[in-house]
Structure 1
Amino acid sequence: MRPPLSPRQRQLLAFIERYIQERGFPPSYEEMRTALKVSSLNGIAEMIAALERKGYIRRQPGKSRAINLQQATTAPPDPLPPSRTCETLPILGAGTAENPLVALLRPRGLISVDSEFFALTGQAWVAALVPDDTMAQEGIRQGDVAIIEQNNQPNNGALVYGFAGEQPFLRRYVESGASFELQSSRRGIAPLRNDGKTPLAIIGIVRGILRRL
């Protein structure tokens, strides 16, 4: 197997092949320089030498336009990007703060996401539909899909998903003394407070948002 070519070497080889197919003889160095917009003939000479060294062409010393294509010289395509893996995550179903596991056990569906893009390592991961527009000021809308790392001990300021009573929420976790509250980004919407009046359960930390256009 011959060594791979640089992008410019592939470009030059493709030009030589096309030129020979159309005219029956190879291009001159000046024609190659003009076609590739190279500033000097030395640059072309270096690329020609590289093509010969890698086995794509053969030159005949002492002859003008003496470039012979080696068999199966078609310029190789750019290498394919490394394969990526997808993870299938459950989309949380209905649940309650008293029994949040029900949402995990009865998912409303599945979604595949790029594990490299979201760095799906460590904790267990789930997805959930954004339930409302309380975080619309941060560009998060009802119906978006949140990618969630399961963790019920978020850091201050984290975006979290969970349940307040029977209602799902997606809000900003803000510590308040020895307690915390869950804040919306929209004005006029009261925070959810951990004051015992409404049971709260945090499922995890939101690490990404997907949206169907």
Structure 2
Amino acid sequence: MLTRKQIELLEFIQKRMARDGISPSFDEMKVALDLRSKSGIHRLVTALEERGFIRRLPHRARALEIVRLPETLMQAGRDAEDSQFTPQLIEGSRSDPQPPPRGAMPVRVDAVELPVMGRIAAGVPIEAISEVSHHIAVPGSMLTSRENHYALEVKGDSMINAGINDGDVVVIREQDSAQTGDIVVALVEGHEATLKYYRRKGAMIALEAANPAYETRILPEDKVKVQGRLVGLIRSY
């Protein structure tokens, strides 16, 4: 039997993976469960793993796989319109794929070709790039639809604590609005493009890195244009 906090964490991970295509960071889990430190999250994740509800994939940042759900969450899912639960393997394909654990439901493997629109800065913003450099195949399970998505190659390490490394490819859903806490592609003052956490502070917008070496940039909202929200990540090795 799971504790209330373990169920809350499992439900939060499931919803964020369905929404963003990547599992939440430990910091995001800590905030969502209103815990004071990440050590509590580590204990909860370990307990869920030991009980066979999740699996941590080795050598990958923010790589969790949901193996199964408790009956309480399965029933809630059956009652919702989007009831079907499908565990998602986060990040890129493996050269030595392992068989899923016993009882795991199948993972979607259909691929979609997306245009790679150059590089995006996860560091100091770089000049905006809007030309297609090449195309890349991404799992269809990352996308909410087959349209209005594109990919960018990450340059820099300012989002490293969010599991986004230099050289990774991020999958972006094209949209012009965001909620506080989203990771977005932001166009700054019409010519600089950057990948950062989006946080609204009144009439100002904070573009926050996931690396303490970088300062948060706070700009008037008319200087920041959201060009898309992160929905998936493909790891580069």
TM-score (norm 1): 0.51
**Aligned pair 1:157/2:181, yes or no?**
yes
Aligned-residue RMSD, C-alpha: 3.0
Q: How does 1:1-213 map to 2 (within 5 A)?
A: 84-93=109-118, 103=130, 106-115=131-140, 117-121=141-145, 124-165=148-189, 166-195=191-220, 199-213=223-237
- Which consecutive unaligned segments of at least 5 residues does structure 1 have? 1-80
Distance in 2, matches of 1:154 and 1:137, equals 21
Could you tell me which amino acid in structure 2 is paired with residue 206 of structure 1? L
User: What is the CA distance between 1:188 and its match in structure 2?
Assistant: 3.5
Would the aligned equivalents of 2:184 and 2:196 in 1 still touch at CA under 8 Å?
Answer: yes
Distance in 2, matches of 1:82 and 1:136, equals 27
Could you tell me which amino acid in structure 2 is paired with residue 210 of structure 1? I
- Which consecutive unaligned segments of at least 5 residues does structure 2 have? 1-105
Shift in alpha-carbon separation, 1:163–1:131, aligned structure 2, 3 A: farther
Task: Calculate percent identity across the aligned residue pairs.
Answer: 21
Report the secondary structure of 2:142's partner residue: coil
Distance in 2, matches of 1:169 and 1:155, equals 17
Distance in 2, matches of 1:147 and 1:177, equals 29
Would the aligned equivalents of 2:119 and 2:152 in 1 still touch at CA under 8 Å?
Answer: no
User: What is the CA distance between 1:111 and its match in structure 2?
Assistant: 0.6
User: What is the CA distance between 1:211 and its match in structure 2?
Assistant: 1.1
Shift in alpha-carbon separation, 1:93–1:201, aligned structure 2, 3 A: farther
Shift in alpha-carbon separation, 1:82–1:168, aligned structure 2, 3 A: closer
Structure 1 stretches of 4+ with a deviation exceeding 6 A read none
Would the aligned equivalents of 1:123 and 1:151 in 2 still touch at CA under 8 Å?
Answer: no
TM-score (norm 2): 0.46
Bigger CA radius of gyration = 1
Instruction: Count matched residues.
Output: 126
User: What is the CA distance between 1:191 and its match in structure 2?
Assistant: 1.7
User: What is the CA distance between 1:201 and its match in structure 2?
Assistant: 2.8
